């Protein structure tokens, strides 16, 4: 993520600014516009236009006799629209019947006020102040606004919701690297619904791929970084509107690195976008867009504190040397092209019809080493670590622990995957003991949206949109490399008898490269619905009310008969269907021309995701018996103030996300009947509570300086005692009910719940700028293990309560770990210059200047599932199954040079 500079003026074109009257929108000529930094003065022409030569930043004083003088601070983002930017002046001593609220931060769209040709937005329409100063600066701390999962934010491209029915998330890798060819034409505040999309508790953002949005441009970009990729080259070409009929956009980019930030990870992303607009008639237009961004990247591992301490901050256990070459065992490949067909028809002056279709198809591959009746190949398996040798307090084998530790620290080959050894062990027999396979998801996605936007009159507007989503997938494991062996027999080494066979109908089939094995099933999911939004826009009051109704169905179709679930894996599962509905209502009240308060509220019942509806999708058709609608209730209140040179926003929010489901999959010991097993864990009926306050303040002083500060203080917790269910080979649903999970008031994990930041930026008249910001984050908690907080924790193998439980120990054993506070200082700067008719812009940023690395997130391991085991493990000086942590990045640098012609 880096600042986007989309529309540089060309030599013969400058930034266009339009000055209009705030009460009747008529252009004002003869307005004096002073560029304070560059010390230049412009006067608006008869149409109210001014053409400015500009850098990335403008500080302007705008005045005319009879009007209130204003100061305005503009950046690139305000000129994104091809039409440029509009600023409004108020008349003095004239009763203010302004319908435009100067301090509104919403984008005002073309059709909102038909008299205006187009508006890109007012000078403070750069999106939410809070988002602007946290999204990039705090990415290292894994900050998530309001603690919501990313799936709470709805992303649409060409009005089509991109969030998947599978887990509600957006697969950014399928359209990464082409963002410059998309215009973000809508970005709502949290809770607010989008123009055509209801959304959830977060924001709704729409990206538009129409080339007509951009001015004619040819641009190239060269980037160097040390985070996920080292080099990036991008070229973008926009034809501009040709003969008033055609426009097209082309973008081609390549991000690559052989060694990314964490050891053994590589990255390769090729991005391609082609979009064509064709104006069929004066009032109708069709667009075709093709996006393909194939990605290949290596992953890195979360590690225990012991492993981080034995190695370094960039350690990754997933890779090793194969004959001297680096080979990562966990590679992700994404090949999911998207094709859009968009049609827009202005039926009348005040009715717009939009039809959008998206077809997406392709594959996602995630690779992994498999092993059967062989030692765990990962170098950080708990039995290979020094802690294992001192695990018995009365029998500590220090000398061997020391030998192992020495090897770990000093011998890189020892602490990485030993590929050559895996081939060697495979060579004793044509049956592979080690092999590489891919978890494959082959998707077929079809989505459509049809909408009508009707402007009833100056004050009332109605949007009706209906949508259809079909997401089907085939999911299976595919053998990719037998690592020197000739074949493999697919059995589950932890089961016996028929339960061993995962494809029971083909028990003894030898698996070769390209064959499917382990699991094979299809998911069919479909959602249809419609949303109606009614907008009222009055003098002192704005109100929007949105209603959404939808119907969703899911079904699993097993292709393999799994021996452990022979009667419940092959064929179709029951059909799950849900009826969802929601209502959103937001109101703004204008207090003065500079301030207003806003109240957003929502209530919705949403279907659970596919992922949480099937408990153990890989092996059986079992449906979560408690599949019910999730409930969302959210309300926030905000106060906005915009002064001449400063801006202030404060919000408080309160949200409940009820009856939701979280799932997990791991190996647990100490379950009922003293058993150990692989378990699929489902926690359901979870109520989550989010409350907090957000404050933001920005000030421009001495024309060239910008200062900001933001504060967010939140409390995001579990609000009830959910229930827990485990399913494994040895427990069916009846036995698998573990009852209540006592986690009420435990904090949700996933990022700091409190952040404070401030920063200063200097804009020089010599076409350069520099900025520094400081970010503090705290209240960051690790993910607790629900199994450890059920009554199973207090039971022995026969189900009776353990006798000698020390109450004080329980509190410390089960206390949720706070990862502590973190501090990051970031610096950035930019300079634009011209050489031989080419415009250059150089941007440099350095995140985390002081290279402070610490744990940014983590999770408790569920392996020791009862009091005795957990106490024994924690009493060890070096526990065997402590929590695992992700390490934040150290200093990240980013260098970007873009060239325009």
Partner 1 sequence: MKKNIIILLGLIICFSCAEEPSYEIPKHDCIEPDIEITNSLGQIKEMYIDRLIGIDQDLHIEGYVVSDDEQGNIYKVISIQNDFENPTEAIQLIVDKSYLYGIYPVGTKLYISLKNLGLDKVNGVFQIGYIHESSLIRIPSIKIDDHIFKSCESHEVSPRIIDIKNIDDSLIGMLISIENIQFASEDFGLAYGNLNNTYSVNRNMRIYDELCHEESSLILRVSGYSSFKNNTLPVKKGTITGVLGKYNNDFQLYIRDLSDVNFTQSPCIPLLENTFQTGIVNNLPIYIDGWVNFTEKGSEQWSGGIFRGDYFAQFSAYGTDEDENIGWLITPNINFAQTDEVYFSFETSKRSVDEGFDGFEVLYSNDWDSSLKGVNTANWQVLEAVLASDDDDDYDWVNSGEIPLVFHPNGYYIAFKYTGSGTDTKKDGTYRVDNIRAVVR
Closest CA to 880 of 311, 387, 381, 394: 387
Q: Which two tokens stand for residue 520?
A: 């094979």
Stretch (H or E) spanning 617: none
DSSP string across 712-764: EEEEEEE-S--EEEEE-SS--TTTTEEEE---TTPBPPSSEEEEEEEEEEEEE
338 versus 404: smaller Cβ distance to partner 1: 404
CB of 425 to partner 1, least distance (A): 4
CB of 222 to partner 1, least distance (A): 8
CB of 335 to partner 1, least distance (A): 9
Q: Specify whether the CB–CB gap between 5 and 56 falls below 8 A.
A: yes
Helix intervals (H) in 64-223: 129-134
CB of 375 to partner 1, least distance (A): 5
282 versus 508: smaller Cβ distance to partner 1: 508
248 versus 389: smaller Cβ distance to partner 1: 389
432 three-state secondary structure: coil
C-alpha count within 13 angstroms, C-beta hemisphere, residue 29: 3
CB of 56 to partner 1, least distance (A): 22
Q: Which two tokens stand for residue 809?
A: 């120990």
Closest CA to 185 of 342, 18, 28: 342
Q: Which two tokens stand for residue 336?
A: 């999911």
511 versus 819: smaller Cβ distance to partner 1: 511
216 versus 627: smaller Cβ distance to partner 1: 216
CB of 706 to partner 1, least distance (A): 33
DSSP string across 328-359: ES-EEEEE--EEEEEEEEEEETTEEEEEEEEE
Q: What is the CA radius of gyration of the chain?
A: 29
CB of 296 to partner 1, least distance (A): 6
Gap between the Cα atoms of 263 and 850, Å rounded? 21
CB of 218 to partner 1, least distance (A): 6
47 versus 427: smaller Cβ distance to partner 1: 427
Gap between the Cα atoms of 184 and 171, Å rounded? 17
CB of 800 to partner 1, least distance (A): 18
Closest CA to 729 of 602, 895, 562: 562
Gap between the Cα atoms of 93 and 88, Å rounded? 16
Sign of the CA dihedral with 261 first, then 264, 265, and 267 last: positive
Q: Which two tokens stand for residue 800?
A: 């009776």
201 versus 865: smaller Cβ distance to partner 1: 865
DSSP string across 365-384: EEEEEEESSS----TT-GGG
144 versus 433: smaller Cβ distance to partner 1: 433
SS3 content of the chain, % helix, strand, coil (to 5): 10, 50, 40
94 versus 838: smaller Cβ distance to partner 1: 838
CB of 406 to partner 1, least distance (A): 10
142 versus 327: smaller Cβ distance to partner 1: 327
782 three-state secondary structure: coil
Q: Which two tokens stand for residue 222?
A: 């060269």
39 versus 798: smaller Cβ distance to partner 1: 798
In the complex, the residues that contact partner 1 under the rule CB under 8 A are: 218, 220, 222, 233-235, 237, 252-254, 256, 268, 270, 272, 294, 296, 322-323, 325, 327, 373-375, 384, 389, 395, 397, 400, 403-404, 407, 419-420, 423-429, 433, 481, 483-484, 493, 496-497, 500, 673-674, 838, 899, 901
327 versus 581: smaller Cβ distance to partner 1: 327
CB of 389 to partner 1, least distance (A): 7
CB of 430 to partner 1, least distance (A): 12
Closest CA to 548 of 116, 196, 228: 196
């Amino acid at each position: 993520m880096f600042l986007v500079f989309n529309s540089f003026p060309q030599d013969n074109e400058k930034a266009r600014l339009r000055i209009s009257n705030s009460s009747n929108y008529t252009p004002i000529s003869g307005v004096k516009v002073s560029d304070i930094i560059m010390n230049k003065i412009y006067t608006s022409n008869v149409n109210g236009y001014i053409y400015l030569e500009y850098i990335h930043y403008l500080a302007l004083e705008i005045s005319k006799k009879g009007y209130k003088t204003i100061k305005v601070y503009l950046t690139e983002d305000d000129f994104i629209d091809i039409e440029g930017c509009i600023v409004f002046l108020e008349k003095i001593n004239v009763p203010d019947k302004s319908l435009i609220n100067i301090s509104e931060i919403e984008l005002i769209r073309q059709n909102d006020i038909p008299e205006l040709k187009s508006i890109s937005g007012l000078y403070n329409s750069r999106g939410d102040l809070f988002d602007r100063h946290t999204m990039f600066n705090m990415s290292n701390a894994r900050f998530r606004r309001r603690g919501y999962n990313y799936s709470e934010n709805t992303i649409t491209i060409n009005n089509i919701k991109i969030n998947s029915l599978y887990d509600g998330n957006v697969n950014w890798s399928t359209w990464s690297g082409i963002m410059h060819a998309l215009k973000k034409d809508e970005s709502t505040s949290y809770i607010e619904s989008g123009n055509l999309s209801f959304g959830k508790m977060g924001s709704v953002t729409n990206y538009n791929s129409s080339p007509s949005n951009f001015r004619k441009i040819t641009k190239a970009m060269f980037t160097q970084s040390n985070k996920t990729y080292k080099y990036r080259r991008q070229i973008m070409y926009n034809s501009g509107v040709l003969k008033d009929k055609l426009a097209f956009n082309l973008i081609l980019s390549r991000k690559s690195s052989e060694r990314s930030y964490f050891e053994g990870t590589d990255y390769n992303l090729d991005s391609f976008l082609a979009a064509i607009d064709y104006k069929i008639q004066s009032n109708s237009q069709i667009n075709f867009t093709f996006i393909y961004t194939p990605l290949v990247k290596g992953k890195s591992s979360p590690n225990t504190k012991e492993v981080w301490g034995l190695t370094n901050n960039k350690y990754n256990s997933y890779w090793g040397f194969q004959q001297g070459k680096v080979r990562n065992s966990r590679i992700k490949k994404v090949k999911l092209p998207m094709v859009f067909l968009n049609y827009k028809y202005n039926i009348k002056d005040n009715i717009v019809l939009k039809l959008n279709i998206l077809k997406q198809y392709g594959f996602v591959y995630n690779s992994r080493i498999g092993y059967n009746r062989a030692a765990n190949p990962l170098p950080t398996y708990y039995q290979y670590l020094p802690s294992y040798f001192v695990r018995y307090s009365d029998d500590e084998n220090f000398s061997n622990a020391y030998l192992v530790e020495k090897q770990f620290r000093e011998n890189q080959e020892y602490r990485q995957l030993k590929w050559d050894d895996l081939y060697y062990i495979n060579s004793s027999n044509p049956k592979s003991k080690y092999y590489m396979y891919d978890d494959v998801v082959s998707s077929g996605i079809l989505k459509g949206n049809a909408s009508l936007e009707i402007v009833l009159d100056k004050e009332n507007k109605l949007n009706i949109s209906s949508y259809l989503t079909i997401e089907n997938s085939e999911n299976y494991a595919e053998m990719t490399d037998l690592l020197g062996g000739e074949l493999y027999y697919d059995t589950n080494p932890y089961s016996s008898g028929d339960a061993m066979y995962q494809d029971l109908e083909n028990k003894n089939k030898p698996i070769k490269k390209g064959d499917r094995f382990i699991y094979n099933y299809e998911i069919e999911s479909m959602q249809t619905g419609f949303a109606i939004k009614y907008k009222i826009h009055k003098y002192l009051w704005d109100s929007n009310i949105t209603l959404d109704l939808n119907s969703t169905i899911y079904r699993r179709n097993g292709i393999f008969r799994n021996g452990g679930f022979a009667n419940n894996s092959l064929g179709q599962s029951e059909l799950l269907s849900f009826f969802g509905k929601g209502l959103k209502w937001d109101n703004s009240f204008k207090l003065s021309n500079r301030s207003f308060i806003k109240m957003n509220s929502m209530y919705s019942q949403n279907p659970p995701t596919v992922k949480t509806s099937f408990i153990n999708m890989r092996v059986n058709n079992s449906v979560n018996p408690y599949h019910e609608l999730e409930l969302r209730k959210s309300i926030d209140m905000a106060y906005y103030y915009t002064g001449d040179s400063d801006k202030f926003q404060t919000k408080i929010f309160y949200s409940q996300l009820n009856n939701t489901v979280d799932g997990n999959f791991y190996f647990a010991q100490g379950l009922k009947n003293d058993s150990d097993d692989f378990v699929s864990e489902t926690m359901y009926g979870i109520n989550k509570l989010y409350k907090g306050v957000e404050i933001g303040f920005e000030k421009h002083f001495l024309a060239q300086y910008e200062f900001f500060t933001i504060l967010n203080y939140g409390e995001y917790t579990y609000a009830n005692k959910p229930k827990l269910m485990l399913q494994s080979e040895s427990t069916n649903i009846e036995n698998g009910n573990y009852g209540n999970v006592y986690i009420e008031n435990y904090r949700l994990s996933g990022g700091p719940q409190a952040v404070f930041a401030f920063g200063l930026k200097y804009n020089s008249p010599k076409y350069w700028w520099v900025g520094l910001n400081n970010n503090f984050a705290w209240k960051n908690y690790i993910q607790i293990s629900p199994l450890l907080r059920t009554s199973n924790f207090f039971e022995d193998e026969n189900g009776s309560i353990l006798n000698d439980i020390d109450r004080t120990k329980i509190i410390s054993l089960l206390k949720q770990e706070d990862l502590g506070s973190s501090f990051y200082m970031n610096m950035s700067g930019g300079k634009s210059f011209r050489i031989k008719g080419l415009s250059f812009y150089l941007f440099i940023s350095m995140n985390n200047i002081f290279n402070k690395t610490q744990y940014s997130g983590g999770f408790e391991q569920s392996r020791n599932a009862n009091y005795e085991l957990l106490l024994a493990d924690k009493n060890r000086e070096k526990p065997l199954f402590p929590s695992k942590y992700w390490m934040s990045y150290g200093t990240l640098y980013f260098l970007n040079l873009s060239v325009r012609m």
